[in-house]
Structure 1
Amino acid sequence: METTDTFGLLSLLPAALAIALAFITRNTVFSLAIACLVGVLTMGKGLMGFPTLLKETLGTTSFSWILLLELFIGTVIAFFQRTGAIQNFTLWVEKRRLTRVRVQLIGWFMGMFVFFSDYFSPLFVGTTLRGLSDRYRVSREKLAYIADSTSAPVSVLVPITGWAVFIAGLLIGMGPIEDAGQAMSVFVHAIPFNLYAIVSVLVVGLVIVGLVPLFGPMRKAERRAQETGDVLREGAEPLLGEELTDTPPYEGIRTSLMLNFILPVLIVISVAIGTFVFLGSAKTMEAFLAAAVVLGVTMRFQGVPLNDIMKTATAGMKGVMPAIIVLALAYSLNQLSKQMGTADYIVTVTEGWLTPHLLPAVTFLIAAVIAFSTGTSWGTFAIVMPLAIPVAFTLTGDAITPLIYACVAAVAGGGVFGDHCSPLSDTTVLASTGAASDHIDHVKTQIPYALAVAACCLVIYLLIGFFWLGNV
């Protein structure tokens, strides 16, 4: 199943079916599984095509990486729970005379602070603030929105992240861009044009302080939480096992906020940033492994029995299994879409729109549609960047102008849109996991804001194209 075939309009069927069923049934696993099954049947692979798809997709280095990352994160979270670190952090923060708005602002700032990993950020924010936000009657949907909107949108704006390196790497060899230094310079100059990422992060803060009003399903969720104290909808299924939400602290030991919470967080941050600086790649999975080992050793010295430590680690891994199952099926669906030529079809039916005035807006639109349909931002970058940027260089005569910056930013912003709000996106899944929110409830409450921001950005790109970049 390595070949890529062109199925035309049918190539949109699996992704469209998954998204539609997810909203109708509110069951993400069922929806993704049915979409994958329908996809392999459409390709003529028969019923055995489904297990073959799973075997080929999940037996890869990329999925093994995120599987291990999830398992180590689950272990760290379980250790946090067992040592009472989260409760200690909550008590420490509460002494700062917080209000409901301030609790949410803390989450907003924490998400921006953990800029180096869009995987760690939503899990860290959601896990750390869940108890506190529950106490102040912030809906889990709102917490997931805050965590999600300060992950990928922030990571794509910072030049010292894997996102920046990946995007810059794609630019090498296009037009006059000959090396990594020139490519990174173009990325940096494109940051002000990355409207979706910038506006998404700002809107979160404005929603928190009330300058942007609540509307749609989010308004209903917040009203429910404030009036009844129910942070979850009745019948909701949090995307996090009870092992990571109901684990009690170990009795009879005295834990330290510094050793059991702050130190592991610092280990994750220092290892991830340090490996990026010295090795050129942030070793996020290795960072969580190191934090889990240090936490386990610390717990043993504090008097927690070894058997209890191992039982807690196993419970943590079990607690993230709902998210792992969703990610496994999402990865399979993404691979299926690639094999059916979904992205190629979308590009083919829209390439006739690419005029100088429309180029940034259409580039953003194509990237957004592909990313939302496939749930992958990096895959979208890899597909759209080699198509849009050479066209832009043709229009500028191989000169690096604001049109180039705008198009690079449009690809990045469009890709982030899909990563930000698609139910198929791993980052969206991780935001639901960290906040222990129902996954579809998170998607339904966040999409209106994401679409509103995307629509505004599309209009601005049109204005920029017609009134500024058209003759550049």
Structure 2
Amino acid sequence: MEGTIYSLIPALLMLILVLLTRKVLLSLGIGIIVGALFIHDFQIADSVQEIWTIFYQIFYTDGSLNTGNILLLSFLLLLGIMAAFLQATGGSRAFGEMMIKRVKTRTGAQVMTAVLGIIIFIDDYFNALAVGQIARPLTDRHKVSRAKLAYFIDSTSAPVTVISPISSWGAYIIGLLGSLFAANGVTDYQPLEAFIRMIPLNFYAITALVLVFLVAYLKMDFGPMRKHETHAIETGEVVNPNQKVPGDLQESFESHKSGSIYHLIVPIVVLVIGTISAMVVTGIQASEQATLLTIFANTNVNKSLFVGGVLSVLAALIFHLLQKQPKANGLKVFYEGIKTMLPAIYILLLAWMIGSIIETLETGNYLAQLVNDASISPALLPFLFFIIAGLMALATGTSWGTFGIMLPIAAQVTVVTDMDMLLPSLAAVLAGSVFGDHCSPISDTTILSSTGAGANHIDHVVTQLPLAILAAVASSIGFLIVGWTTQVWLAFVVSIIVIIALGLLIQFLSKTKVNN
């Protein structure tokens, strides 16, 4: 069943179950079991062995520890511990009280979160987790639902990182472009030049970022998001108290009453400086000729996050130990911090497992082959690459995996058919990959955005989905225009106008519905 239409079934089954049951672990588990059965033609013993092997290889592969995965999981635990100490020392409470005096409105709290998401552009993982830690005390005080906070985090992290050349994503993409251009004999562009030219063509990243500010300023809450926001405003509960969410420490222990703002700011600054410094060091160590681009192309993100996490926990621990009569026992803080991250880790582990199943079934290759075999007008290529990349990222839960599969195909097809469509098609792959990633419950970035916000994961997926589709509609129009006219800036302006018009229309319809 590998590489056929049947390879789509486990991914589709998992997605449908997630939306119908809202039980993410159950849905992922069923998807894994069905996928393993497909791989081994319903031989139960072999399927069980497949599942065990996939789980085992998350931690140990090719005779050695899988340090990348272990370090990322360790960082999540460290993040939970740091968050626990920020609350125990009273830093989170003090920061919230300070910001509530300076940021007077819910709109201001939301805009500040969006701005933080754009400023922290080095890496999507780091963005998702750091912005959540900084913004959560403020948004909680202004009764902004955690689902909405997760949306702001997710819809700024990947979009800003995918259009920034000085980021882990940008460096990776530029490296891919270099090999693609060499393989296809493309001499019209240098990789960095091509990446810069593709920024205004990445219509989804641009419209998603514009939409974030429209949602903040226009109070553009509709669909499932409206329910969460209404509940938060009316009851003050930013998350359903009956749901277990990562990072929720509200009733675990009492905060220290003499806590100060620096108890929160210093550990987070240590986290930022420690992580970025480690990224630079690991990038230099892995580069033959260290330049800004090669450093970020070769940096070890997971190791850097782990180093930053250890340093930030040590800083927070020192503050806790220096406080007189701490309200919470240090060991209890460690325990509660670790415990709050376990739901996110369970989801991430199962997401990695189903991702491996989907890779073995060659789901992505099947979708890619459909494009490669189709006889279509070159003018439609950017639009179609956007849609196919979106479907692939939705099914597989990985933007980077989709980049790796679809960018070579887009380059190969456009070089043969119409060179004018090369950069628009490559940009469409990047845009579609981020769109699908935003819609996928098994995307690691989506999972970490829920974690950073302390939101229920499925609440985040369901509330973000309609907004992601809005940005995708505006992007699709942009890709159709650039395909038919080759006018980049016309398509760019039209896509911006469309997303603003859609935002204003939804706001008007929402107000009309409320008034009626």
TM-score in terms of structure 1 length: 0.89
Partner of 1:34: 30
Displacement of 1:331:
0.3
Partner of 1:57: 58
Displacement of 1:388:
0.8
CA distance in 2, matches of 1:288, 1:182: 37
| Structure 1 residues 263-342: aligned runs within 5 Å | 263-277=266-280, 279=283, 280=295, 281=299, 282=301, 283-303=304-324, 308-342=329-363
Percent of aligned positions that are identical: 35
Aligned: 1:232 with 2:239: yes
Contact 2:205 2:431 (8 Å CA) reproduced: yes
1:218 counterpart (208, 217, 225): 225
CA distance in 1, matches of 2:310, 2:416: 47
Q: Cα RMSD between the aligned structures?
A: 2.6
Q: What per-residue deviation string (whole Å, max 9, x for no partner) do you get for residues 408-444 of structure 1?
A: 2212111111222311111111222222222111111
Specify the SS of the correspondent of 2:460. Answer: helix
**Relative to structure 1, is the Cα distance of residues 349 and 222 closer, same or farther in structure 2, using a 3 angstrom cutoff?**
same
1:124 counterpart (122, 127, 130): 130
Q: What per-residue deviation string (whole Å, max 9, x for no partner) do you get for residues 104-137 of structure 1?
A: 1111111112221212322333333334323322
**Relative to structure 1, is the Cα distance of residues 245 and 170 closer, same or farther in structure 2, using a 3 angstrom cutoff?**
farther
Gaps in structure 2 of 5+ consecutive residues: 41-45, 61-65, 284-294, 489-516
Partner of 1:161: 167
What is the aligned residue count?
456
- What is the one-letter code of the residue matched to 1:319? T
Contact 1:346 1:366 (8 Å CA) reproduced: yes
Displacement of 1:328:
0.2
Aligned: 1:357 with 2:379: yes
Partner of 1:257: 261
Gaps in structure 1 of 5+ consecutive residues: none
CA distance in 1, matches of 2:275, 2:241: 39
Aligned: 1:388 with 2:410: yes
CA distance in 2, matches of 1:413, 1:422: 14
TM-score in terms of structure 2 length: 0.82
Q: What per-residue deviation string (whole Å, max 9, x for no partner) do you get for residues 334-388 of structure 1?
A: 0100000000111122321554211211111111111011111111111111111
CA distance in 1, matches of 2:357, 2:430: 23
Specify the SS of the correspondent of 1:154. Answer: helix
Q: What per-residue deviation string (whole Å, max 9, x for no partner) do you get for residues 20-59 of structure 1?
A: 1111111111110111011111112333332222112343
CA distance in 2, matches of 1:250, 1:456: 46
| Structure 1 residues 360-439: aligned runs within 5 Å | 360-395=382-417, 403-439=421-457
Partner of 2:460: 442
CA distance in 2, matches of 1:245, 1:390: 53
Displacement of 1:275:
4.0
Displacement of 1:218:
1.4
Range that drifts further, 42-51 or 418-427: 42-51
Displacement of 1:395:
3.9
Contact 1:116 1:272 (8 Å CA) reproduced: no
Specify the SS of the correspondent of 2:52. Answer: helix
Partner of 2:216: 208
| Structure 1 residues 55-204: aligned runs within 5 Å | 55-59=56-60, 60-175=66-181, 182-204=190-212
Specify the SS of the correspondent of 2:221. Answer: coil
Contact 1:238 1:432 (8 Å CA) reproduced: no
- What is the one-letter code of the residue matched to 2:212? V
Contact 1:139 1:231 (8 Å CA) reproduced: yes
CA distance in 1, matches of 2:276, 2:47: 46
Q: What per-residue deviation string (whole Å, max 9, x for no partner) do you get for residues 63-87 of structure 1?
A: 2232122112112111211111111
**Relative to structure 1, is the Cα distance of residues 303 and 120 closer, same or farther in structure 2, using a 3 angstrom cutoff?**
farther
Contact 2:15 2:441 (8 Å CA) reproduced: yes
Contact 2:100 2:142 (8 Å CA) reproduced: no
CA distance in 2, matches of 1:112, 1:246: 32
CA distance in 1, matches of 2:378, 2:438: 28
Specify the SS of the correspondent of 1:423. Answer: coil
